[in-house]
Structure 1
């Protein structure tokens, strides 16, 4: 049963999954209570990143402006889905999330066992969620009409050479003590760039998204490295793919204001080199001044992000079904007064056909 969510204007649904060695496991689906009257016949499933959960209401608003029905999936042991007895964010195989994704898709009407309807499916993933959805889309060809990846973690920060050095030790540690400690140090500099408590503009639950980061486990890290290796050998995503990345990375060693305009988590050059490996149709957009989660970047960067994403959506998925009647001059003035200069002004104007 859908119940009110912690995010104002949204509701959530608990998805019961098969129990694992830590007991009962759930995922959580989140959607807006009233997404609005415009419908392009497209459903979108969004998956968050590592040490993360869905709080980006403005991202849902962007897609809803295009007529896309937005749903966020909180994976097992993350955010809304974590239970006090569980190891946060833990899995030993990224394929485990197939169950979470299948449960979410069945709920929103995209169960492959059911008769296929007229609605199309889009996937969007951030960071680790982008890696998870890339692997899923490759294993499930023709399920999605489009895939959007927001700074996807397609390669280790030390690139392939680093993976080859780290893999044997990580695999050994995963076999001996899968939930054991891993050397990890996070000075909280990325959190400083996004949190309204510091130099950013966003408010979030620091229990579900820790400002100090989360310590990974050996088994989880081994699963990530296997995923990176699969990407390096090439995936087979049949849908068109849009990858959104910052124009540059900055090493998170000490705070500088440059961290407000760059990715301090991933090596964006290494990730960009993996984009052609995803499938035959890929589009890479590099955003000057973007943060790791490009949707949390400064407002001028977000305007470019929305414009480029909408252009890709119209070209590859089919936003042409979204239409509004041509207003009269008086009505047009009223619309302009109501729309003002808000974050989606350019899109509202773009959707009105020329008079």
Structure 2
């Protein structure tokens, strides 16, 4: 297990706020969020944001909190660029036992209940001013990718009124073999979870998705091999049982009370044998099965199917990313409009309108 990379020396400019230190990404900073210890000892989450050397050029009065997927961490600086271009303050969260939050004594990514992540999310929201009862006048948009999309969907379902909108980037709302596959696999997985929760299941990740995104292979993105190994991490039965529980809850229907945008590739390619199609399709999830679950999230859902997109649609080819940015910006302007200015005086009605018109007509030029 690799120890997280040391942060680079601070560059020129003001010192970070108390508790914030320079991040491994140039121009960003991070803050460690202490969480309650578990059976493996110390547990932390890590919040990441752009360095606050200068106020943003525009401010829409909106904060975004981004949560990554399985075997992942925040590295998508271009995603921060996009949101900040809309005047949004961007924050990313590395969950416990992932990325910046991974420690040598941890089983990577290990939890037994998805609601365990509620503590991570609440710690991050409290730090950015959106804790329970904070009374912030800023709006909150949550964005989750893959497993992070499942986690945030469940969080929003259980906490109505806390956020203003939800963006899901290829959310893992259903197992790859769909409901029938879950029903077949779940009993044996739960039995293993009870007997040996941290044992390793057979690894079916052949590294094809990593090949499509990593600059070490055919992709365009610089990835930390310790935080995001090509073949992923070995799945544990307790973790997979927790995922199955999340899928079952989505299948029974959620009641998320805010607008939801779901971004999916137009097609999936089974990760059995490498092909060039894997450079323009989702090789991780079954997008048809995911799309079928979208209407069960809440009363107001928008589904955008992106031709040529990868599993993380924001890591797709530049032309495809342009479509992603267009769809997100269009949805954002429709459902999270800029904060309203002073309300205009109401137009006069009834006799007041008649009297106002008579007065305007009789007004002499200056």
Is the shorter-chain TM-score for this pair beyond 0.5, marking a shared fold? yes
The answer to whether 1:4 aligns with 2:26 is no
- Give the alignment partner of residue 118 of structure 2, picking from 98, 110, 114: 98
Aligned partners of 1:39, 1:78: CA distance in 2, in Å? 30
What 5-or-longer segments of structure 2 have no aligned partner? 1-18, 342-366
Aligned to 1:309: 328
The aligned runs of 1:195-206 (5 Å cut-off) are 195-206=214-225
Q: 2:93 aligns with which of 73, 77, 85?
A: 73
- Look up the match of 1:352: none
Distance 1:105 1:90 in 2: 22
Instruction: Work out which of the two has the higher radius of gyration on C-alpha atoms and give 1 or 2.
Output: 2
Q: Under a length normalisation based on structure 2, what TM-score does the superposition of the two structures give?
A: 0.86
Q: In 1, Cα distance between the equivalents of 2:202 and 2:192?
A: 12
Alignment of 1:169-318 (within 5 A): 169-318=188-337
* Aligned-CA RMSD value: 1.1
Deviation at 1:321, TM superposition (A): 6.5
Determine if the alignment matches structure 1 residue 168 to structure 2 residue 149.
no
Alpha-carbon separation, structure 1, partners of 2:56 and 2:211:
34
Structure 1 residue aligned with 2:168: 149
Residues paired across the two proteins, number: 321
- Give the 3-state SS of the residue equivalent to 2:66 in structure 1: strand
Q: Tell me the residue number matched to 2:75.
A: 55
Write the deviation string for residues 83-110 of structure 1: whole angstroms up to 9, x where unpaired.
1011000000000000000000000000
SS in 2 for 1:302: helix
User: In structure 2, what is the Cα distance between the partners aligned to 1:270 and 1:302?
Assistant: 23
Superposition deviation, residue 112 in structure 1: 1.0
Per-residue deviation, residues 118-162 of structure 1 (Å, max 9, x unmatched): 100110000000000000000001111100000000000000000
Q: TM-score under structure 1 normalisation?
A: 0.89
- The 5 A counterparts of 1:7-86 are 7-34=25-52, 36-86=56-106
Q: Counterparts of 1:171 and 1:189 in 2: how far apart (Å)?
A: 28
CA shift in 2, pair 1:295/1:161, >3 Å = same
Unmatched segments (≥5 aa) in structure 1: 323-355
Kept in 1, the 8 Å contact 2:61–2:339? The answer is no
Q: Distance in 2 between matches of 1:311 and 1:251?
A: 31
What is the Cα deviation at residue 312 of structure 1?
Answer: 0.2
